[in-house]
Amino acid sequence: MNDRTDIKSLTPEQLANYVTQMGLPAFRARQLFQWIHEKAAESFDEMSNLPAQLRSALQESCDLVVLRIADVKISAIDGTRKYLFALPDGNVIESVLMKYKYGNSVCISSQVGCRMGCRFCASTLDGLERNLRPSEMLDQIYRIQRHLGERISHVVVMGSGEPMDNYDNLVAFIRLLTHEQGLNLSQRNITVSTCGIVPGILCLAEEGLPVTLALSLHAPSDQVRRTLMPIAFRYPLSEVLDACQTYYEKTGRRLTFEYSLVKGVNDNLEEAVQLARLLRGRHGHVNLIPVNPIKERDYVQSDPKAIEAFKNYLEKQGIHVTIRREMGRDIAGACGQLRKSYIQQGKEE
């Protein structure tokens, strides 16, 4: 972007250094951190207990990244909200708010676009535009919390992008989000979903962050997985599942295996048999997701009967399995589709 300081991405220690370099006392850094992260301030002007001179000095040298809500769709059925955010450089990303009995959960994007190329996914159709900074990941949550007027208690990194492909920013984001002087989210209420980048999984296992790991499995064999996910050529299932086992051992966190059911591709009983064999003794549960069809591909959802049969077989084998409840049916659209239609619209105008 430019050489201005991205103040929302700084750790408390970096912020303290920054403030000291400006010749100011350390308590100013704590005040600033609170305004930025706990109160989700939208401008330096809002920071009323900081001297006006300091506010204008910060204005001169720093960017306070604040995303603009370009569009929001609210479900009349269950209150799910889809937000389209404009980034300072003009890119757009989407985030989703879901209201559950246990709290408010936000699904955030970790990149603008994605380069993983999963066949059924809309986010990757135009490739990767750029990584999101920690500030840009955080502000999806901060803006939604302020717009909603309720606390966000859970975060899933399951929107557009591959979090392990933006690893350093991901970890910085998690540390800021869970900082006790910030929004102070519980690390246990954060889920990171990956298509299976082995070095990323192994690194995250060593960070001392007990976040939940979700693996996008989608097939019980490398052969089928490769038809859906190009990353499966790079990291075979045996390596990915070993890395997941390591993750479990290091963090004590049970895993989630995501399995999007695509009619005639990965949903027959033979695949359920293979899947049960593959996951036996692994510490996690399977989350079945009826694939959300995108118009650019001809994948279709499995029949409800096939989904039931798949689920029943796994259960009989002692595997804990859930079917993802569809949220916001009336505002639905697969990951990345709202953004895609917005960009398309712009091109046509």
Among 15, 158, 172, 232, binds ligand SAH (CB under 6 A): 158
Binding segment for ligand SAH among 47-55, 93-101, 112-120, 263-271 (CB under 6 A)? Answer: 112-120
CB of 101 to ligand SAH, least distance (A): 22
For the question of residue 203 being annotated catalytic, the response is no
CB of 129 to ligand SAH, least distance (A): 15
Binding segment for ligand SAH among 14-22, 80-88, 113-121, 132-140 (CB under 6 A)? Answer: 113-121
Tokens, residue 259: 């399995």
Catalytic position from the list 62, 94, 107, 271: 94
* Residue closer to ligand SAH, measured from CB, 121 or 190: 121
* Residue closer to ligand SAH, measured from CB, 15 or 260: 260
Residues in 234-263 at the binding interface with ligand SAH, rule: CB under 6 A:
258, 260
CB of 75 to ligand SAH, least distance (A): 18
120 counts as binding ligand SAH under rule CB under 6 A: yes
Binding segment for ligand SAH among 136-144, 237-245, 285-293, 339-347 (CB under 6 A)? Answer: 285-293
CB of 232 to ligand SAH, least distance (A): 11
For the question of residue 239 being annotated catalytic, the response is no
121 counts as binding ligand SAH under rule CB under 6 A: yes
193 counts as binding ligand SAH under rule CB under 6 A: yes
- The binding site for ligand SAH (CB under 6 A) comprises 116, 118, 120-121, 158, 162, 193-195, 216, 258, 260, 289, 291-292, 294, 334-335
Tell me the catalytic residues: 94, 335
